[in-house]
Every structure is written in C-alpha cells, then in structure tokens.
Structure 1
Amino acid sequence: MKKYIVLIAAILIASCSSKPSLQKYIVERSESPGFVVLDLGSSIINTDKVALSVADKEALESFEKLNVLVFKKDTLNENKFDDESAKVKTILNDEAYQELIKYGGADKSAIVYFVGNENAIDEFVLYAAQRETGFAIVRVIGDNMNPNQVLRLVSLLQKSKFDFEQLKPLQDILK
C-alpha cells in the first residue's frame, strides 16, 4: 500500500510542471494592465438557421473554444512590449508548438503554430505582433482538428449569427 501512495505522489509531482505554457501565460496576464483576454466557447458559432454539411458538423464537433489575448502598447508600457513578446516567443519555441506559417518582418509579423500532428491537431495558435501597437495571441482549441476544419469554422462563423458584442472588450482596447 505504501508503494502505491509513493507512486501516486511521484506521478502528481511530475505532472505539476513548472514549465511555462501559453495557457498559464494567458491566465496570468488576464488581470494585468494593458492586456485583454477573451475566452469564447463553441457557442459563438450559432448554426441554428444554417444548413450544415457532414464536414461542417465534423468541424464543429472538433472545436472547443477560442482564447484571445491582446497586449496594447502605449506610452506607459513601451518597455513591457519587448519583455512580454520575448516571453511569448520563448513559450512558442517549445517543441510542442510546430510552426505552420510565418509572415512579416521585424516591425510586423504573424506566425501560425499547431500542437499535435497534421491529422489530429489539438490547438492552433496565431501570434501577431506590430511594434507600434502591440501583439495578439489567438488560440483555437479543439480535439483532432485539421487545417481544413479550422478554415471551415471561419466560414461557419461568417455564415452564423455571430454576436459581435462578445468582442466588445477587444474593440475597446484597440481604440
């Protein structure tokens, strides 16, 4: 019995990693000045009055939620931009995040990452930064997604009765 307790304790300690993660980063910044965080569930895609194909249904079933973090750079936090973007880049350099697409240069850039393998993606991450205005992280979280399903979700979002009031906090900070 004692061996089992020691084994369970060892597993619990090993699973509590102190390694930084994107989720931890977003949660820690959710109450910080200059940051806005939005968590949107799958209900953002209202498909009540939209005819869905089998592929549409599969895409919806693979989607769980969307996390958005925005850091708006201003005169009060100019130095913070470099520190915070370096922290995000360090997290995204972890082997779990595989780079899919990269765009831009030093002043403007966008990179799309994924977690999982090409046919069973659990997370897509878009990191976009502009030196003058700040950066944003968008996490599309799901289960066994593929790139076509994410594109289909974007299309469904456009067709659905999306409530843009859910994005009001982002609009307010970006003004």
Structure 2
Amino acid sequence: MSSRSLKNKILTGLKVKKGAWIPKIKRRKGNNEKNERATDISSIEQEETSYQENQEQLYSIKPPVSIINLPTEIYLQIFSYLLFTDLYTLSCVSKFFRDLLWSKSEFTQSIWRNCRLIHYPKYPKLPPPDGMCEQQYIWITLATKICHFCKEPYEKTAFDKWLVKINFCDHCMATDEHIIDVVGEM
C-alpha cells in the first residue's frame, strides 16, 4: 500500500480545506507487514505481563503491623511496665484501648493487678474487696485525692474510706448526712 493511498483512506470522510497542511504518515521500516504485526503483538504482550507483575508486586506488599493487631499476651507484657496513670491515659486514647483496659475480664484484671503489685511494693497486697474490680480499687486508693462531696483535696489518712467506694474528707464525714447514709447502708 502506498503512502498516498493510505493518506487518502485516512482523509476520506474528513472535510479538509484546500491547501490545508496534512502531516505525512510515516511507515515503519521493514518489508513484511506480518513481521511488524508480530513484533507489535509480542511487545504488547510483554507490556501486559510486566504490568501484571507490577500489580502483583504492589498487592503482595503487606501493610505495616498495627499495634491493634498484636496478640493479647504482648499487651500484657507492654502494659506491665506502665504506671496506673499511664494505663488510664492509654484507655483515653481510643475506644479499642478503653474497651480493653476497662473491661472486667480476667486478662484486664491481671494487667491492673500486675501494675499495682510491681510499681507499688508498699501498697497492700490484698485483693480488692468483693464487688470492686482492680481498676476501681486502684483508682479509689491511689489516684483520687479529692473529696467526692466538697471537691476539695484532702490528706489520705491511715484509715482510707475505700470500702464505701467513695472518697471523702474527715470534715464531710463529720458533717454531711449523705456520707452517713452511704456508710449506714454498708
């Protein structure tokens, strides 16, 4: 096929003004058009296989391991080095950690128990009283130093009032009727 007839085939159906510039169509070098088609097809197949290999490599890359996907035994090991204030702060980070650290499961209770026993050796080794979990026990005895009623800080006395699960100062103990009602219910 000559270049003139190829040009005419392309231009059929197109309205071209007389004297308009028409680009020349370059023919590929080579004698046999079948060989040209064969090389074109093989190059296309090579491109497709390289594209597929690239896609497989992209999908084979594993995402980085998230801390949420770690086994629970590793959590126990990590959390055993934290203070109770750090455990509380960690429970505020996400819903996952809050559910993990504030549940009443044996695993969670062991985290808080280990925290209490390792980091506070002078702390009584007694377990929490009936009806109280480790988190409440630690929170009432170690963390809160504010009276539940008057909201004033107070000195912890030798006899802490943690049995009633409410912290209160001596002044409120002597004057507030609500505390007497709470203690009377026990």
When the two structures are superposed, what TM-score results if normalisation uses the length of structure 1? 0.31
Q: Which has the higher helix share?
A: 2
User: With CA pairs under 8 Å and 6+ residues apart, which has the higher RCO, 1 or 2?
Assistant: 1
TM-score by length of 2: 0.29
Judging by fraction of residues, say which structure has more strand.
1
Flag the structure with larger Rg. Answer: 2
